[in-house]
Amino acid sequence: MKKIAVLISGSGSNLEAIAEACRANRINGKIVCVISNNPDAYGIKRAQKFNLQSVVIDHNSFASRTEFENKIENSLDNYDVDLIVLAGFMRILGENITKKYFGKMINLHPSLLPKYPGLDTHKKVIQNGDAIHGISIHYVTPELDAGPIIAQGAINITHDDNIESIEKRIHMIEHQLLPEIINEICLENIYLDVNTVMYNDEMDVTDHILINYDE
């Protein structure tokens, strides 16, 4: 069974969706550690609810980003993880750590990349009057939110939408798609070959690449 680390910074609703999917055997893997850079993250309480090991690595207590990332690396290596999931982890990771775990580290991002890397994606969607928005799950590279895309989920945006309504629907599709993709990676149905995302023949790729949850 694959050993999964989940990195969080805040609420941890995606962590809970992953933990729930593991418990229900919808993921052929096990969360072996939860790492939070924020000592007050609500996700730590969610981790406790599922009896998951959690480690706080507060970026504020390190003199440099390198020391902070070295500490994260130590934890990941101690738990001998197979897959690292950045699920609402709000620190940018540098070149050393992202290169070390290239192909093993995935990120959940709330936009249809390459549109809107970085922060405030829902706000940008509203400001630009976009009709479609969504989420991306991608392999992590040193360049922010720019690694090979594994899967995307889309929603339609209407004039009635606001940041709160979008956030709610984005969370709904994240909680569905992220555990599914983690399971496919654990089953080795999805993997990275150099820079290309590979999908096992047995997988119906069209079911995962870009799904519009409103159609």
Nearer to ligand GAR, 109 or 133 (CB): 109
The single-letter DSSP state of residue 30 is E
Contact residues for 62 (Cβ-Cβ < 8 A; gap 6+): 68, 71
Nearer to ligand GAR, 14 or 54 (CB): 14
Name the nearest CA neighbour of 150 among 115, 176, 182: 182
Positions 49 through 88 that interact with ligand GAR (CB under 6 A): 87-88
Positions 139 through 198 that interact with ligand GAR (CB under 6 A): 170-171, 174
Residue 13 labeled ligand binder: yes
Q: Can you tell me whether residue 194 is helix, strand or coil?
A: coil
For tokens 């956030």, name the residue.
Answer: 167
Name the nearest CA neighbour of 135 among 203, 213, 195, 55: 213
Nearer to ligand GAR, 132 or 198 (CB): 132
Q: Is 14 in the site for ligand GAR (CB under 6 A)?
A: yes
Residue 92 labeled ligand binder: yes
Find the binder of ligand GAR among 11, 70, 75, 176 (CB under 6 A). 11
Q: Do the Cβ atoms of 34 and 54 come closer than 8 Å?
A: yes
Q: Which residue is nearest to ligand GAR (CB)?
A: 88
Nearer to ligand GAR, 47 or 170 (CB): 170
* Residue 138 a catalytic site member: no
Residue 96 labeled ligand binder: no
**Alpha carbon distance 98, 192 (integer Å):** 14
Q: Can you tell me whether residue 185 is helix, strand or coil?
A: helix
Q: Do the Cβ atoms of 12 and 88 come closer than 8 Å?
A: yes
Name the burial class of residue 204, with classes exposed (0-12), middle (13-18) and buried (19+) by CB atoms within 10 angstroms of its CB.
Answer: exposed
Nearest approach, Cβ of residue 136 and ligand GAR (Å): 9
Residue 107 labeled ligand binder: yes
Neighbours of 118 (CB within 10 A): 11
Find the binder of ligand GAR among 110, 134, 147, 179 (CB under 6 A). 110
List of residues contacting ligand GAR (CB under 6 A): 8, 10-14, 43, 87-88, 108-110, 170-171, 174
Could you list the residues known to form a binding site for (6R)-10-formyltetrahydrofolate, using ranges: 65, 90-93, 107
The catalytic residue positions are 109
Could you list the residues known to form a binding site, using ranges: 12-14, 65, 90-93, 107
